[in-house]
């Protein structure tokens, strides 16, 4: 486990590796208003994009030297780390909570607290090329293949086809009974892993019309600690699937990262605890590296002074992510 120098100065809202295999560069978006570009191999800070307000999400755009970022400014900004040029692609009425870049259809996806999901063409700034009403605030989003899902404040998964974004495919109520914090589509594109405030993760089929015996749907406890003999549930802040297996990692408010074989219902390994919560994590495209953001996620309200944020990169051990036989 390697601790990187020059971390963000405030809560780290997102870490994300470049999408190309063999590329070990990753982004770190933060409430300090920055999006930082790191090289996990050389452990160097390569560049920085600055916004006037906290950045809630960021994604690579086409290559590892450009990114899109958004947050409390309500604007979706395309940044070039080489030229230091910023371009405003579009704007929501409220803060933008989630971003994805769909390389196949060459569109930027944004989900906002204004209860909308939008697609933007980077070549035509201004109006969204497509949009959909969610009816609830967006808290987390993921896109894979032709699917995009949004976990919202109504505890539902809103499922869309990227080719027909204005028409919602399904609205699925989650097994989780409290606020959803993170969603991630699995490698088979038929299931999603969903994390909540109460220290639970659910595996949810994205098409409820399939035969009952054909789809896994269940929830399990995780990120729990004991204080004075009582079990304390900590929020699940992040989920990341390993690209080579159907296993995934979770980051929690208890300051730990856990690896799971969800379909076998087994925990494979655990990292930590770190000094404070794991706020975000991501595997590299080839699955060889794991980036872990450690920063206070306001689980207990304001703290003065808040814990200092940290960024770690770890070489992935096969035993952590490979499903166990039997």
Answer yes or no: are the C-beta atoms of 103 and 117 closer than 8 Å.
no
Domain that holds residue 13: 2-321
Q: Which helix (H) or strand (E) holds 40?
A: none
Compute CA distances 18 → 63, 64, 176, 207, 305, whole Å.
8, 6, 31, 29, 33
112 domain residue, yes or no: yes
157 domain residue, yes or no: yes
CA–CA separation, 40 and 94 (whole Å)? 33
Over 256-268, what HEC string results?
A: CEEEEECCCCEEE
309 domain residue, yes or no: yes
Domain with 278 in it: what CATH number?
A: 2.130.10.10
Stated pTM of the model: 0.94
Compute CA distances 313 → 143, 241, 249, 267, 282, whole Å.
24, 16, 14, 21, 10
- Give pLDDT, residue 192: 95
- Give pLDDT, residue 326: 60
229 domain residue, yes or no: yes
Q: Is the dihedral angle over the CA atoms 75, 86, 184, 232 positive or is it negative?
A: negative
242 domain residue, yes or no: yes
Q: What is the mean pLDDT of each run of 10 residues along the chain (326 residues)?
A: 94 96 94 97 94 98 92 97 93 98 91 97 86 96 95 96 88 94 93 95 82 73 89 95 95 96 91 94 96 86 81 95 84
306 domain residue, yes or no: yes
Structural domains counted in the chain? 1
326 domain residue, yes or no: no
């Amino acid at each position: 486990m390697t601790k990187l120098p020059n971390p963000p100065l405030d809560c780290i809202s997102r870490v994300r590796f470049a999408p190309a295999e063999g590329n070990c560069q990753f982004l770190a978006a933060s409430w300090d208003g920055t999006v930082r570009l790191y090289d996990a191999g050389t452990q160097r800070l390569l560049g920085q994009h600055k916004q006037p307000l906290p950045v809630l999400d960021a994604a690579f755009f086409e290559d590892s030297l450009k990114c899109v970022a958004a947050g409390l400014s309500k604007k979706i900004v395309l940044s070039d780390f080489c030229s230091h040029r910023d371009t405003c692609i579009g704007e929501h009425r409220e803060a933008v909570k989630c971003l994805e870049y769909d390389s196949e259809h060459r569109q930027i996806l944004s989900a906002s607290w204004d209860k909308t999901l939008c697609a933007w063409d980077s070549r035509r700034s201004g109006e969204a090329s497509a949009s959909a009403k969610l009816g609830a605030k967006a808290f987390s989003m993921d896109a894979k293949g032709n699917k995009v899902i949004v976990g919202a404040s109504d505890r539902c998964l809103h499922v869309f086809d990227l080719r027909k974004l204005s028409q919602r495919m399904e609205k699925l109520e989650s097994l989780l009974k409290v606020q959803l914090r993170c969603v991630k589509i699995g490698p088979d594109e038929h299931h999603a892993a969903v994390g909540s405030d109460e220290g639970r993760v659910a595996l949810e089929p994205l098409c409820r019309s399939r035969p009952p015996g054909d789809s896994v749907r269940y929830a399990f406890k995780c990120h729990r600690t004991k204080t004075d003999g009582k079990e304390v549930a900590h929020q699940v802040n992040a989920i990341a699937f390993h690209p080579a297996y159907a296993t995934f990692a979770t980051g929690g408010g208890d300051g730990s990262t856990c690896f799971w074989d969800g379909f076998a219902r087994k925990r494979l390994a655990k990292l930590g605890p770190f000094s404070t919560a794991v706020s975000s994590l991501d595997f590299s495209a080839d699955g060889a590296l794991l980036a872990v953001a450690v920063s206070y996620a306001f689980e207990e309200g304001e703290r003065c002074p808040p814990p200092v944020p940290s960024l770690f990169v770890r070489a992935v051990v096969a035993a952590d992510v490979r499903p166990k036989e039997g």
